[in-house]
């Protein structure tokens, strides 16, 4: 089925470890986004990408790395996880600036 | 950069009552506006969008929102609440990312709607 999928849905890891969250969309949307959702903060943009090989920082990029070698994939890597990165992470895609974003179901990440 | 304010982090209504969730944005230029709904353990789903075609926008599940430029508001309403409407609702505005030609969504902090039987 067409859509946007995130994996894994749940992840528990330890501080200092590297962890990668995957995001895949089947619409060939140009834009893709990574958000984190925390109580009291709503959704905060981590990184975004306007097209393959074009990425840029959002509101809270520190400690995260992204890449986009293919239009359909937009992985998010925590290079050395910290407890403050415990959160729910959402990936989204968008066809154009005046169109809505479509969200995945999220990855719940716990860092011990 | 734009900002979005949702008045009331928590709204509680009785089943069958009117639902009113408030959203104000900061821009003086009519932007593209959206309402999303999030059910527990799920991603955000689009309820409706305003793209300047009409000031009253109808969405899914009986929700609608009215764009009022003079008040910079985009409040969400539903005439009669149903138990299944219990969820968190987010207002968002399309916002040009500074210094470039790309856009992002700026979200409000959300309003949790509870529906009492």
Both tokens assigned to B48: 């409706």
Query: Do residues B96 and B102 lie in contact, with contact meaning Cβ atoms separated by under 8 Å?
Result: yes
Average pLDDT score, chain A: 93
Q: In this complex, do B46 and A100 lie within 8 Å of one another by their Cβ atoms?
A: yes
pLDDT score for B24:
95
pLDDT at B29 over 70: no
Q: Where are the beta strands (DSSP E) in A1-112?
A: 4-7, 10-13, 19-25, 31-38, 42-51, 54-57, 64-66, 76-78, 87-94, 101-103, 107-111
Report which of residues B52 and B89 the model is more confident about: B89
Q: Which of residues 86-105 of B touch A (CB under 8 A)?
A: 90, 94, 96-97, 100, 102-105
Q: Which residue in B45, B102, B108 is closest to A42 by CB distance?
A: B108
pLDDT 10s digits, A59-93: 899 999 999 999 999 999 999 999 999 999 999 99
C-alpha B100: how far from chain center: 26
Confidence of residue B80 (pLDDT cuts 50, 70, 90): very high
pLDDT score for B53:
72
Q: In this complex, do A50 and B51 lie within 8 Å of one another by their Cβ atoms?
A: no
Q: Which residue in A56, A101, A105 is closest to B105 by CB distance?
A: A101
Q: Which residue in B32, B96, B109 is closest to A42 by CB distance?
A: B109
C-alpha B45: how far from chain center: 11
Whether the CB of B82 is below 8 Å from some CB of chain A: the reply is: no
Q: In this complex, do B41 and A56 lie within 8 Å of one another by their Cβ atoms?
A: no
d(CA A105, CA A84): 21
Q: Per mean pLDDT, which range of A28-42, B10-24, B92-106 is the poorest?
A: B92-106
- In this structure, how many other beta carbons lie within 10 angstroms of the beta carbon of residue A94? 23
Both tokens assigned to A83: 């407890």
Residue of A nearest to B32 (CA): A98
Query: Do residues B34 and B27 lie in contact, with contact meaning Cβ atoms separated by under 8 Å?
Result: no
């Amino acid at each position: 089925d067409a859509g946007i999928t995130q994996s894994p849905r749940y992840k528990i890891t330890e501080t200092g470890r590297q962890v990668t969250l995957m995001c895949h969309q089947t619409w060939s949307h140009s834009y893709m986004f990574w958000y984190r959702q925390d109580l009291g903060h709503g959704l905060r943009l981590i990184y975004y990408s306007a097209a393959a090989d074009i990425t840029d920082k959002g509101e809270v990029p520190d400690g995260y790395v992204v890449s986009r070698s293919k239009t359909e994939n937009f992985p998010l890597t925590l290079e050395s996880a910290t407890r403050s990165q415990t959160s729910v992470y959402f990936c989204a895609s968008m066809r154009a600036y005046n169109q809505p974003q479509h969200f995945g179901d999220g990855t719940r990440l716990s860092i011990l | 950069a734009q900002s979005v304010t949702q008045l009331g982090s928590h709204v509680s209504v009785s089943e069958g009552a009117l639902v009113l969730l408030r959203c104000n944005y900061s821009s003086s230029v009519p932007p593209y506006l959206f309402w999303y709904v999030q059910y527990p353990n799920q991603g955000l789903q689009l309820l409706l969008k305003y793209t300047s075609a009409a000031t009253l926008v109808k969405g899914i599940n009986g929700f609608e929102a009215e764009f009022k430029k003079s008040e910079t508001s985009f409040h969400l309403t539903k005439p009669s609440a149903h138990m299944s409407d219990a969820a968190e609702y987010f207002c968002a505005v399309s916002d040009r990312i500074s210094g470039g030609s790309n856009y992002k969504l700026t979200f409000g902090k959300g309003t949790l709607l509870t529906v009492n039987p």
